[in-house]
A = this chain, B = another copy of it.
Amino acid sequence: MSAPGSFAVDVGGTDIKSALVDGNGDLHDVRRTPTPVIPGDGEATGRAIVDTVAGLVPAGVAAAGLIVPGWVDDARGVAVQSENLGWRNFDFRTRLEAELGIPVGFGHDVRAAGLAEYRLGAAREYSSVAVVPIGTGIAAALILDGQPYSGDGLAGEIGHLRVADGPACACGSRGCLEAVASAGAIARIYRRRTGDDVDGAREVIARMHAGDRTAAEIWRAALDALATAFTALTTLIAPEAIVIGGGLGAAGNDLFDPLADRIAASLTFQRPPVLVPAGFGQDAGLIGAGLLARDRANPGVES
C-alpha cells in the first residue's frame, strides 16, 4: 500500500471529477471540471476529454485511471458507445497513454465503483455480490465468485428490467425499474403528479414523513419495483449481498427495512440477499478509478 500516487478521473455527462489517490487509496484535491461536449460529434468529444484530462494530470504521478459511462469494453480499454456523449468505439486508454506516457487504467463508471466496494468497501466480505447505485439511473456491478463480470460490457442493466406497465423509459421500453425507482424518476413522478417542484427523491421521502400521501404512494411504488427487480436478480444470480449506493443508498431505514421485507415476502426457497448500504458515497467511482490505475501499473498484483 505504499505505491506512488496515481490520478483518478470520473467522466460524467456534465462534469469530469478528478483526484489524486495516495498509496493508501485515499483521495486528495477532488475537483470538478466541466465535461467538454461537442454536440453531434462523439469523436471530437472524446478527443476534447482526452485533452482536458491530460491538462489535469499533475507531473510525477505513476499512473492514471479513467472511467466513463455507457457501454464500455473494460478488457480492450474502449468506450464502445454512449448515447449522452455520442462516441462509438473511442479508444480512451491507448490515446491517453500516448498523451501522458504513463499507464492508464480504463473502465466503466458503475463497475469501477463496484470494484471499490468489493476491494475496500461494503462488499469486502462477500465473494458474489451486486453493487447497485441508485441515482439518476440504476445499474449493477456484478462480482461473481470473486471476479468482476461485465458480459462484454453489457451485463448488470438491472435498471432496465421491466417491473411495471409504465411509465415510458428513456431506453424506449416502458416500466423499466429506472423509470419507476431511480432517484431521478421518483422526483420526476412527484413533480408530474403534484405540480410541486422538489429537490430530489430525498425531499419526496421527507414529504412522505410530513404526511404527504402522494409522496408515500410514489415511494411505495419505488420499493415494490426495487423488490421485484432484486427478487429476479436473486433468483438468477443468488448474490450473497446487494450493496446499494448512489443518492438512495443513504436513505437508511426508509429504504432498507421495507425493501428487505418485500424481498423476503416474494422469495420462496431462494436465499435472501443481505442488503448493505455502500461504504463509499459519490466518490466510489473515483476510488475505483484509482484501483484501475494501480492494476494497470502493476499487472497481476491486486492492490
Contact = CB atoms under 8 A, between A and B. Distances in A.
B236 A154 contact: no
A145 B156 contact: no
A24 interface: no
Interface in A231-245: 231-233, 235-240
Contacts of A266: 162, 173
A146 B171 CA distance: 30
A154 B232 CA distance: 13
Nearest to A173: B268
A156 B236 contact: yes
Given A151-B128, A268-B173, A269-B171, A235 B144 contact: no
Interface in A141-161: 144-145, 147, 149, 151-152, 154-158, 160-161
A155 B238 CA distance: 5
A172 interface: yes
A28 interface: no
Nearest to A169: B268
Contacts of A149: 144-145, 149, 237
A171 to B, nearest CB: 4
Nearest to A149: B144
A263 to B, nearest CB: 13
A77 B171 CA distance: 44
Contacts of A235: 157-158, 160-161
A282 interface: no
A266 B149 CA distance: 24
Nearest to A240: B152
Contacts of A173: 266, 268
A271 interface: yes
Contacts of A162: 228, 231-232, 266
B268 A154 contact: no
A270 interface: yes
Contacts of A157: 235-236, 238, 270
Contacts of A151: 128, 144, 237-239
B152 A128 contact: yes
A199 to B, nearest CB: 30
Contacts of A145: 147, 149
Given A160-B269, A162-B232, A232-B236, 15 more contacts: A128-B152, A145-B147, A151-B237, A151-B238, A151-B239, A152-B271, A155-B236, A155-B238, A157-B238, A158-B235, A171-B268, A173-B268, A232-B232, A233-B236, A236-B237
13 contacts: A71-B269, A128-B151, A128-B152, A145-B147, A149-B149, A155-B236, A155-B238, A157-B238, A160-B268, A160-B269, A173-B266, A173-B268, A236-B237
